[in-house]
Structure 1
Amino acid sequence: MKVVKEGFTVYHNFPIKALSNEVFKAITHPEDLVHWWPLKCTGMPKIGAEYNLFFGEPYNWYGEVIKCEEHSSFYIKMTKSDKDWNSTTFGFDLYEKDDGVTWVNFFHRGWVEENDHFKHSSYCWALLLNGLKNYVEKGIIIPFEERN
């Protein structure tokens, strides 16, 4: 029997004191994404749509929306990025568990190697997702240059 290895995955689960529609907007709308993740962004939250995630040259990356369920799930499969990210998919599943609190279950899967870039990206996601939490809960916007 042949064992197929699916790669490595980053996971982060955390609460945000906001309704799921507010969190969904912050993870899908380019005008909100730029407040906690890329420098510039375009895209629409619908299956098959392309997102451009621009982090400054040479990091002008693209991904395709492969799952989009309003207020509950949003996944992007990377289509043009660096060699480590290009085979990956990241996504958010949102669950309102308590009154006014949404739990975010985040993943970034499909990493071919558990290399230094994988480990650094996991760390960066933790920082960025904390930025998402602070943006949604408190309106805090960290300047792009200070996000890593």
Structure 2
Amino acid sequence: MKSICHRLSIKASPETVYDALSLEEGLSGWWTPETKAKPETGSIARFAFGPDYFKEMKITQLAPASRVEWLCVKGYEDWIGTTITFELQPGDKGTVLFFRHDGWKDYTPGYASCSYDWALFLRSLRLLCETGKGLPFPYFH
């Protein structure tokens, strides 16, 4: 199985980054405004990207200020069954985020596009945490 990995530093506390990754308001501010999510393990979060496409993630792990993990249950076929993990560690100037999107069957054009898009969305997450304003869909490019 293949993985997409990113690491970035965010000038905000792990608690601030965790809230942006676990609360509906935070997720709406950096990924897509059309987010329905509850910070509860076992719940299903829905992320819509326009009228014709959405993803659903099962929240599999929530560890305050340290880890958020999702299992994709609906979306593009090559996403279903993949896991997305955000691991947070305190850093010298805030938080170090280790991001993984695991379970890709192969290196495909979709894999490459997704890796690029995740980098843009993680930049949006950093902007939200550092300035209070992210660049969620459709403004992330």
Q: TM-score range by the shorter chain?
A: over 0.9
**Corresponding position of 1:60:** 54
Any idea what SS the aligned residue of 1:146 has? Answer: coil
Residues 86 and 94 of structure 1: CA distance in aligned 2, closer, same or farther (over 3 Å): same
TM-score normalised by length of structure 1: 0.89
**Corresponding position of 1:4:** none
Structure 1 outlier segments of 4+, above 6 Å: none
Q: How many residues align?
A: 141
**Corresponding position of 1:101:** 94
For residues 49 and 143 of structure 1, the distance between their equivalents in structure 2, rounded to whole angstroms, comes to 22
**Corresponding position of 1:136:** 129
Query: Structure 1: 5+ residue runs without aligned partners?
Result: 1-6
Question: Is the Cα–Cα contact under 8 Å of residues 56 and 72 in structure 2 kept in the other structure?
Answer: yes
For residues 66 and 34 of structure 1, the distance between their equivalents in structure 2, rounded to whole angstroms, comes to 19
**Corresponding position of 1:117:** 110
Question: Is the Cα–Cα contact under 8 Å of residues 31 and 136 in structure 2 kept in the other structure?
Answer: no
Matched, 1:88 2:108: no
Identity of aligned pairs, percent? Answer: 28
For residues 17 and 141 of structure 1, the distance between their equivalents in structure 2, rounded to whole angstroms, comes to 14
Query: Structure 2: 5+ residue runs without aligned partners?
Result: none
> Which string of whole-angstrom CA distances, capped at 9 and with x for unpartnered residues, describes residues 76-100 of structure 1?
00001110111211010000032x5
Q: Which amino acid aligns with 2:107?
A: E
| Match for residue 70 of structure 2 among 76, 86, 89 | 76
